[in-house]
Amino acid sequence: MDHPLISTTQTQEYNEILLACTADVGKPPGYVTWWRFRADDSIVMIGQSDLIEDDAGNCEFFASVNITYKVSKEDNGAFFRCTSDSNVTDGPGHEDSNLYRDTDKINVLCK
């Protein structure tokens, strides 16, 4: 799994940030998902790639998901997690994935 990309970790309230993640989701092929973790312990799925169809003879399947996320003041201190899952994992769920990467926490500047 590549490190997830976040366009910035410091932004103004109501601005958008870009989140990008790519992973080899294995065989059977799976998907990647973005989650938002706030300081108040709320966790929300904010985006997911399409499930890739199996291709006989191929053992590498790459999935990508790019998200544009509008930041609010409640996101101050939040971080984002990209997970890689397939149909054989217990997911979808941020706690079910063995393969994940977290971004740094964001600092939201209020207007």
- Overall average pLDDT of the 3-12 stretch: 85
Q: What is the pLDDT of residue 110?
A: 85
Over residues 24-64, the pLDDT tens digits come to 776 666 788 899 999 999 999 999 887 666 565 666 677 78
Strand segments (E) across 1-92: 5-6, 10-12, 16-24, 30-37, 43-48, 62-70, 79-86
Mean pLDDT of the chain: 81
Does the model's pTM come out above 0.85?
A: no
